[in-house]
Structure 1
Amino acid sequence: CHLIHYLRLSHHLIVLNYLICTFDQLKSVSSEDIKITDAVFDGVEVRVFEPPAEGDESLKRSVVYIHGGGWALASARTSLYNNLCRIMAESLNAVVVSVEYRLVPEVCFPEQYHDALRATKHFLQPDVLAEYSVDPNRIAISGDSAGGNLAAAVCQQLSKDEDLTVRPKLQALIYPVLQAFDFNTPSYQQNMNMPVLPRYVMVNYWIDYINGNYDLAHELLVNNHTALNVGRALSFRARLNWTSLLPPSF
């Protein structure tokens, strides 16, 4: 992937995602247990998982799910996320909406967030909820990794939107990416050389997401990136002092 990128034949993330998704995408095949359909919510592709009606139950709970992948990889249609959402729909007896947001390098921040927000707001419209027989008082939003980042950002925005009549009641974030101020937290230190996602790779995902320059990677790794003004940087760090939350063992 990096050789192809170096030769300027394509971006290495496009090649990597091609390898991940090309042979691992599942079609929206329904079964007796789950109806699976692909749809478009306000210009954003989604995959919807609907369990059958049970007894006298008229309305179901629902989960809007946003997949991970460093804002650059994977898909709602890969076997991992397709099967995860299918199992979630079966286990919770819930309508699950899996968001297929656009990826780096096609788009960078904030477009992934905008896609997730548009799809979620479309789904929260009363007529759309009625179409899928969803209880407006039992809607959650969830996501893993970079998807957890997007889920948290979407929830924050929805909580401030006075035009909405329906809002999520629950947020479930799975190992979410929540900050880029400090790449030397205990977690980053303990896992800096772990396979699949070492610390430097996470830094590169952030750089790609904000359409930055890889020359900045070292500055991020040593936390020399938050502000040119030292006084302003200290002010930020005072408000984000995670060390005060650590147990004495650290």
Structure 2
Amino acid sequence: MGQPTPSRLRRFWVVSTILVSLLAYYMYIPLPADISDPWKLMLLDATFRSAQQLSHLIQYVGLSHHLLALNFIIVSFGRKSAWSSTNVQITDTNFDGVEVRVFEGFPKTKEPLKSGVLYIHGGGWALASARISYYDELCSAMAEELNAVIVSVEYRLVPKVHFPEQLYDIDRAARYFLQPEVLEKYSVDPARIAISGDSAGGNLAAALGQEFSKDATLRNKIKLQALIYPVLQALDFNTPSYQQNANSPILPRHVMVRYWIDYLKGNQDFVQAMLVNNHTSSDMEVAATLRARLNWLSLLPKSITKNYRPVMKKVGNSQIIQELPQLLDARSAPLIADQEVLQNLPKTYILTCEHDVLRDDGIMYVKRLESAGVEVTHDHFKDAFHGCMIFTSWPTNFSVGVRTRDSYIKWLKQNL
């Protein structure tokens, strides 16, 4: 082969420059100066957006539902088989027909019994798995550091099931785990059990905590609840954090609204109306009354509300609430629960991230729980983004991921 001519070299460099420029344009999104590892976050977000676009293409050509396709991609790249190490034993089993992955930390001390944590993974009620590497590594770290038994629940997902089936799975697994003979089998102290979850898993953990608080036979069975950037309401998509972080990476506002609609088996044509709060306009008396329970002008500090203004339509789309009455159900939106329910909840940990549309859901829940007399620890990270706690290993290792995980486990260790 001969040497490349100058004209060929020029064409090569021109094409390469164009491709690199297009890639940089696709990857780049404006980010706050204080956010953790911005360029790495852009790459992670671009990868996730690409997977989402591919999944929508798969649905468009009629091969599969886009959420099934997207979850297949996520699980395929992250699935880990059960294994045992010198510090943690991992077993796949089922609790009353619900698949779970159990992580058992080997004793570091002479304690006769271990603590227990029922963990619920995130993913918009539609994505991820207890068996992917991110949650495998998190639960392994928890089991080892806490000398605990971690039960990570593999609940059924959208679009195969919708609300409240995910909550039913969690409830069944939890009730099974809390049986005296099961706790004895795993050497778990019945007085040292927590429920926990992140994002949509935080939503399910909060809902389960409220359901248990109303059951006299279970009210005192849970010592702690720990909620990581939880989804807690769908009545106001214009809180300050939804306005501030409307286009933030990983979880933009429109994506969160779509997750809600899919979870409640609604019509995606409702997205635009819900984005401007047409579903909770002032002419809808019941919705407006419940929305008053998350009046962020009174529940959030001035440092959060800043100059943001509430978005309340005088006349809205009544069809949305008629077709999706689940929006007004505290089992789907724990932030709107009655005060009498909240006052029976256990000691609580809530972690929030500054650059997250869900930030204010968590902060408002802190305020409502404190007003109900619940002891709450609020852990807020100024440089954090939604989902960061599971990103602790190469190539998706973020400094704030390690810090949030360590802070969370530290609280559990001190309180469980």
Provide TM-score, normalisation by structure 1: 0.95
Runs of 4+ in 1 over 6 A off after TM superposition: none
The letter of the residue matching 1:145 is: S
Determine which of 122, 132, 138 is the counterpart of 1:84: 138
Contact 1:136–1:166 under 8 Å retained in 2: no
Q: Does 1:53 align with 2:53?
A: no
Contact 1:60–1:93 under 8 Å retained in 2: yes
Shift of 1:227: 6.6
Name the structure where helix makes up a greater proportion of residues. Answer: 2
Q: Secondary structure in 1 aligned to 2:119?
A: strand
The letter of the residue matching 2:195 is: I
Provide the C-alpha distance between the structure 1 equivalents of 2:111 and 2:300, rounded to a whole number of angstroms.
46
| Unaligned residue ranges in structure 1 (runs of 5+) | none
Shift of 1:196: 1.6
Match of 1:139 in 2: 193
Q: Secondary structure in 2 aligned to 1:105?
A: coil
Determine which of 250, 253, 263 is the counterpart of 1:209: 263
| Unaligned residue ranges in structure 2 (runs of 5+) | 1-54, 307-416
Determine which of 96, 99, 106 is the counterpart of 1:42: 96
Determine which of 5, 21, 26 is the counterpart of 2:80: 26
Contact 2:213–2:219 under 8 Å retained in 1: no
Shift of 1:229: 4.5
Match of 1:17 in 2: 71
Q: Does 1:164 align with 2:233?
A: no
Match of 1:226 in 2: 280
Contact 2:156–2:166 under 8 Å retained in 1: yes
Provide the C-alpha distance between the structure 2 equivalents of 1:238 and 1:80, rounded to a whole number of angstroms.
37
The letter of the residue matching 2:208 is: V
Shift of 1:231: 3.1
Determine which of 99, 109, 116 is the counterpart of 1:62: 116
- How many residues of Structure 1 are paired with residues of Structure 2 in the alignment? 250
RMSD of aligned Cα (Å): 1.5
Single out whichever of 6-15 and 39-48 deviates more from structure 2: 6-15
Shift of 1:165: 8.1
Larger Rg belongs to: 2
Provide TM-score, normalisation by structure 2: 0.58
Q: 1:24 to 1:239 in 2, by over 3 A?
A: closer
Contact 1:126–1:166 under 8 Å retained in 2: no
Shift of 1:237: 2.7
